[in-house]
A and B are shown apart, each in its own frame.
Chain A
Amino acid sequence: MSVELALRLLVIAAAFAWAGFRFARLARPLMATASEARLTPVAPRAWGVVINILGHRRLLRKPYAGFLHLFMFFGFLFLLTAVIQILGAGVSPIFDLDWIGGSTWIAFGQNLFALLLLIGVAMAAWQRLVLAPPRFVGSNQTDAAIILGLIATIVIGMLLQNACRIATGGDASAAWRPLSSLIARGLAAAGMSGASAAAAATAFAWIHMLAILVFLVYIPSSKHLHVVVGIPNVYLRDLTPAGRLATSDLEQPRLGLSDIAQLGRKQTLDLYACTECGRCQELCPAYASGKPLSPKKLIMNLRDHLLAAPAGGGARAPLIGGAIEEETVWSCTTCRACMEACPLFIEHVPKIVDMRRHLAMEAASVPEGISGAVLSIEQRGHPWAGTRFSRTDWRHDLDVRVLAPGEKTDVLLWVGCTAALDARAQKIARALVNLLRTANVDFAILGEDEKCTGDVARRTGNDFLFQMQAAANVETLNARSFARIATVCPHCMNTLKNEYGDFGGAYDVVHHSQLLAELIEHGRLPSVADAASEVTFHDPCYLGRYNSEFDAPRAVLEASGAHVVEMERSRERSFCCGGGGGRVFAVEPPDQRVNARRAAQARETGAATIATACPFCLLMLEDGCKSVAGLAAGARTQPVRDIAEILEEIVIRRSTGVSA
């Protein structure tokens, strides 16, 4: 055995042992967790891997970053053949891949994909150094530089090794390696040939191999760990409805997340999978408004916290109050922008809500405004403490039927606390009633028997109260007959549709935008053909991102004769109004108001009216507009209106014969 071979063997064995040790250190806490049983169903899970990993679906939403990743990904994938070749040759002098085309098509592919990889690396370096998008703020930039450097070294080492070998004149694959041959000609012109070329080939082979081994040893502590856990993480993604949070088992001794070891396996894998790409941070309204929350930093901090202490032993610093501040946990609007953007399907919101569950149910530590709303749900069945209305006052002159137990209706109109109890939001309910009357819909309400669905309680961590609300409402609903429920509020829709199943409530639930769009389509409500005014539409998170309904509200607006102009952030990328996750009741620091930012974005479109389809969004945006308009001297506030109010105005105008 030659000395060089022995040395190669030794280096490879040492690197594998070291890498193995480092991977094992990551695997230990992972294997100690409880598995979420997400291995099946295989087909949709595997298909998700195909379109999201091979197809780069989410990554390509950013073309530059997407394509550079695509180049690097496929380059990396194909160059695995080179890794096999060099490590194989490292342990056995007779190893080669020639029998499957190692010196023909594989050689050609290696040349081609090496080029692609280098282009990718160059684009990535340009992105980091020159474009420097703010989404990288807070990411580990040194790590990114090391990784890019290592990849470049691996590829260049390989190309030069091949070129030198070609320069010796004895390489059978020369014809299949156009790029290396080109370099070889340059080397030959510089006088390299024979023994000097062979020596250089050996040297570059070493560089190539060492870079691969360093990479292998390095990745367990790098964001590049995603090359290993990315695929399993996408495969194990949550397939339940986006709007469904897991129901807390209140019998358990521990409620919520206060110790990192309580995280499930996929939830822990999430921490390893994060690439620190910042796509989540870029879209996070809490981060944008200057609050101490970045979904990216949250995941990074949880990961660092997990790895900070040896698994199974030793005391870790506290999770909440240590690794993650309480204020960070409460800053989230649960808007889901982060989860929708994450190329690796990392689940931020369930982790945040789980930490809230600890704070609300075990520590009884809830910020002032939110705790008041939650207490009110418990005491009065609604969060609007201090309202001067009873639940049925809004319809005092409308004579809406209240559905008694045992009675039957086609559409059960679920008014929701805000539309019933807030003076401004009541106008939505009233408009909707007029429209349903016009369309001859058989509908009724629950009146005083309707109680808060518990969305605010659940999303602020009080699953105990949520479960009481759900049980009470399911009992009320199941005592009556209806074909389906139509809700004024997307939060009610989401909860009734996606979360009441655990409590024996299975209903056909639509949001009022969907019902109205359907009535228009069937000709039961009129539609105006010509676009008379410009309206911009704010997508409520719980209608859009959570329940994938983007078109119905726009269809209603168009039927109202509105030309919809889109904000820069709309549909899946919509920017939250700031009111989700119970934050409509939170006390927002004046300089950190999410609603003011969204209102400014809406005003930028120049549209005459700002439309939305959620009472929370309506109140938040109206308030935001007032504060933004107040800042700009002499500014006028656009009206903020629900799509039902806009449509009702048209329908009433038509029926009373007033021209537009």
Chain B
Amino acid sequence: MRVVVCLKQVIDPLTPATSLVLDQKAKKIRVGTPAPPVINGFDEQGLEAALRLREADKEAEIVCVSVGEHFNNDVMKRSLAVGADQLILVQDASLDTFDPYPIASALAAVIRQIGGADLVLCGRQGSDWDNALTPYILSDMLGMPLLTLAKRVGVADGKVEIERVLSDGTMTMAATLPAIVTVTSELGTLRMPTVAARLTAARKQPRQIAFAELGAAAASTHPPQVVGLAVPVAGRNCTFIEGADGAAAGARLAETLLHAGTIRLGGER
């Protein structure tokens, strides 16, 4: 079984706002100080799902694919350190974009070029633009069924079965392979690599595929436009919630949060 995990290199979502530089001309977000990027956290969870599948099926092959620009190889090679068999990178300036279409198109082309996949795992969304569209377009391009928001992924008898997270519980879904699955945070974080695996990974090189070789579509015919960028203004407001005892204070806290719209009653999303 070949499992392809799509990884995206993103700006560290924990970069403090004061370190962000907005390029209003190119409509891009940059980090002012030299801080390394990270692998999109949701995608890391996709990789974790793949590693867990391989614990059950030792024969499974894990191929990580990433398309984008300015790759930091040390960062991307973390995928090899935790156990991926292969890392494929496609670099092109056109792939550093808000538009999910060329990204999905490049991913689909890579997957076709390596001879297809039995299972494609993606994070539920990218932490940079939060579009959550690439897996949908990819499923359409590859003609594979799409199962979303998995917190557990299992493969048996040529089928993938997932537990899908709902606001008030989970639902079980299945599809015949090949299929695409997106995973969500509840799946758990990516495991830590051992030092031996890191050292081995450090000696491996990612496989680079030239974008031109893929014959993928460079852009949508009418791509969405980023009109402007702004750093949200973070404000702080401190209120002391008091009550006769812990329980009363807790109830008042819940009420306050409810009124403020921070939380909602069960079932609503």
- Chain A residues at the B interface, C-beta cutoff of 8 Å: 250, 255, 360-364, 366, 371, 375-376, 379-381, 385-391, 393, 448, 464
Contacts and interface: CB of A to CB of B under 8 A. Distances in A.
Interface stretch (B98-106, B186-194, B216-224, B260-268): B186-194
B238 interface: no
Interface string B174-218: 000000000000000001111110110000000000000000000
A250 B192 contact: no
A381 B195 CA distance: 18
A366 B192 CA distance: 8
B195 A361 contact: yes
B16 A362 contact: no
A389 B16 CA distance: 5
A380 B14 contact: yes
Contacts of A250: 195, 199
B18 A393 contact: yes
A364 B189 CA distance: 13
Interface string B1-25: 0000000000010101111000000
B35 interface: yes
B195 A388 contact: no
Interface of B: 12, 14, 16-19, 32-36, 38, 191-196, 198-199, 234
Given A362-B194, A371-B192, A464-B195, A379 B38 contact: yes
Contact of A364 (B12, B18, B38, B193): B193
B194 A364 contact: yes
Given A379-B38, A380-B35, A448-B33, A390 B16 contact: yes
Contacts of B36: 379-380
Nearest to B19: A390
B192 A388 contact: no
Contacts of B14: 376, 380, 385-387
Nearest to A464: B195
A362 B192 contact: no
Contacts, number: 49
Contacts of A361: 194-195
Given A380-B35, A448-B33, A362 B196 contact: yes
In order of increasing CB-CB distance, the 10 nearest A-B pairs are A361-B195, A364-B192, A390-B19, A464-B195, A364-B194, A448-B33, A390-B18, A390-B16, A388-B16, A389-B16
A281 B234 CA distance: 47
Decide if the interface of chain B is mainly helix, strand, loop or mixed.
loop
Given A362-B194, A362-B195, A366-B192, A393 B38 contact: no
Contacts of A379: 12, 36, 38
29 contacts: A250-B195, A250-B199, A255-B195, A360-B192, A361-B195, A362-B194, A362-B195, A364-B191, A364-B192, A364-B193, A366-B192, A371-B192, A375-B192, A376-B14, A379-B12, A379-B36, A379-B38, A380-B36, A381-B35, A386-B14, A388-B234, A389-B16, A389-B18, A390-B16, A390-B19, A391-B33, A393-B16, A448-B33, A448-B34
A363 B194 contact: yes
A390 B33 contact: yes
B228 to A, nearest CB: 23
Nearest to A255: B195
Contacts of B19: 390
Given A379-B36, A379-B38, A388 B17 contact: yes
Contacts of B35: 380-381
Counting chain B CB atoms within 10 Å of each CB, which of A366, A390, A393, A464 scores highest? A390
A381 B19 CA distance: 14
Given A364-B193, A364-B194, 18 more contacts: A250-B199, A255-B196, A361-B194, A362-B195, A364-B192, A366-B192, A379-B38, A380-B12, A380-B14, A380-B36, A381-B35, A385-B14, A387-B16, A388-B234, A389-B18, A390-B19, A390-B32, A390-B33
Nearest to B74: A378
A448 B18 CA distance: 13
A362 B197 CA distance: 9
A255 B198 CA distance: 13
Contacts of B195: 250, 255, 361-362, 464
Counting chain A CB atoms within 10 Å of each CB, which of B14, B191, B199 scores highest? B14
A391 to B, nearest CB: 8
A386 B17 CA distance: 11
Nearest to B198: A464
A385 B14 CA distance: 7
Contacts of A386: 14
Contacts of A464: 195, 198
Contacts of A366: 192
Contacts of A385: 14
A470 to B, nearest CB: 16
Contacts of B16: 387-390, 393
Nearest to B191: A364
Contacts of B194: 361-364
A251 to B, nearest CB: 9
A380 B12 CA distance: 9
A393 B192 CA distance: 31
A363 B196 CA distance: 10
A508 B112 CA distance: 60
Nearest to B194: A364
B167 to A, nearest CB: 24
Contacts of B34: 448
A387 B234 CA distance: 13
B7 to A, nearest CB: 15
B194 to A, nearest CB: 5
Nearest to B192: A364
A366 B193 CA distance: 11
Nearest to A388: B16
A366 B194 CA distance: 11
B83 to A, nearest CB: 10
B22 to A, nearest CB: 15
Contacts of A376: 14
Nearest to A379: B38
Counting chain A CB atoms within 10 Å of each CB, which of B196, B199, B234 scores highest? B196
A380 B11 CA distance: 11
Contacts of A388: 16-18, 234
B246 to A, nearest CB: 9
A381 B35 CA distance: 9
A381 B31 CA distance: 15
A385 to B, nearest CB: 5
A364 B194 CA distance: 5
B168 to A, nearest CB: 26
